[in-house]
Each structure stands twice: as C-alpha cells, then as structure tokens.
Amino acid sequence: MEPIDKIRVFFSGDQYATLATGAIIEEAGKNYAKCSLKLERKHRNAMGGVMGGVMFTLADFAFAVASNIGSPPTVSVSGQIVYLGAAKGDMLTAVARCLHAGRSGCSFTVDISDDLGNAVASVTFYGFRKNGPMLIDENGDTPEK
C-alpha cells in the first residue's frame, strides 16, 4: 500500500470531513497537505453559493492532516477564516502549509481555491502539540505504542 493510501485510511476516522463533505486527501506530508472536495447541492446555501462552513471544514481537515503527520498529536486552538470571493467551479482545493512548527505550538496557513483558479478563502490556524508520540509518520505508518 502506498503511503498516501495509508494516510487516507488513517484520516478516514475524521468522518465529518470525509463523509459529510466528501473531502479527500490529494497529497500529504509533514507540515503540508492538499485536500479537495467535489461541490454538490448539499454544499450550497439557499442563494446557491458555497456555504462558508464547507470551506472552513475543508481547511480544518487539511490543517489536521498537515499538522499530524510526522509530529506529536496536534489539535487546533484557533482558526481565522477570510473569505476572498465566491467559488465558481465544481471543486474546492485546500492547501495547508506550515508557517511555524515549535515544540508545543504551531501555525499553518490554508489557502482555498476553486478548480477555475479563483482564490476563495484563506485560513490561519494555531495549533497545540500534545506531549506524546506521533500518531502517523510520513510513510503513513502508525508507530507501535
């Protein structure tokens, strides 16, 4: 099994992101993740626009993947989203990148765009790294406890 497949299996436990929204992991590694979802009617509000919560959930999922691979267990402490424009395409993609990785704290930026190349949102997350062994390494393996 390829490392990305192992990573997908591990994060399939995040059922809200994977089942409710349909988010999938495209690429992943330590301090980096690219996740996407195909937009459906369920993602849209009464005016036909993409719900802000869908964008935030996709960004949060990308943050979770990027911050937990090859690092101690990490949880989000805060996240601030800025909506930049309306999604016009059929897909959303979130790319998470680490800005700072400390021993107990970290910060990431997640940029969200549609498949037409429009920037639709940007999220900054601050995370807390719990004391303990990593849950998943860069090869998608879960170290023995």
Could you tell me if residue 94 is inside a domain?
Answer: yes
Domain holding 109: CATH number?
Answer: 3.10.129.10
Could you tell me if residue 52 is inside a domain?
Answer: yes
pTM, two decimal places: 0.95
List the domain range (segments joined by +) for residue 59: 3-129
Could you tell me if residue 51 is inside a domain?
Answer: yes
Could you tell me if residue 140 is inside a domain?
Answer: no
Per-residue pLDDT tens over the stretch 9-60: 999 999 999 999 999 999 999 999 999 999 999 999 999 999 999 999 999 9
* CA–CA distance, 79 with 126 (Å, rounded to integer): 6
If you average pLDDT over residues 111-120, what whole number do you get? 98
Could you tell me if residue 76 is inside a domain?
Answer: yes
| 81 neighbors 122 (Cβ within 8 angstroms) | yes
Overall number of domains in the chain = 1
Residue 46: C-alpha distances to residues 85, 94, 114, 126 (Å): 17, 24, 20, 32
Angle at 67 between CA 66 and CA 69, to 5 degrees: 70
Could you tell me if residue 135 is inside a domain?
Answer: no
Residue type, 21: T
Q: Hey, is 30 helix, strand or coil? A: coil
Per-residue pLDDT tens over the stretch 68-80: 999 999 999 999 9
Could you tell me if residue 134 is inside a domain?
Answer: no
* CA–CA distance, 121 with 112 (Å, rounded to integer): 5
Could you tell me if residue 46 is inside a domain?
Answer: yes
* CA–CA distance, 63 with 127 (Å, rounded to integer): 9
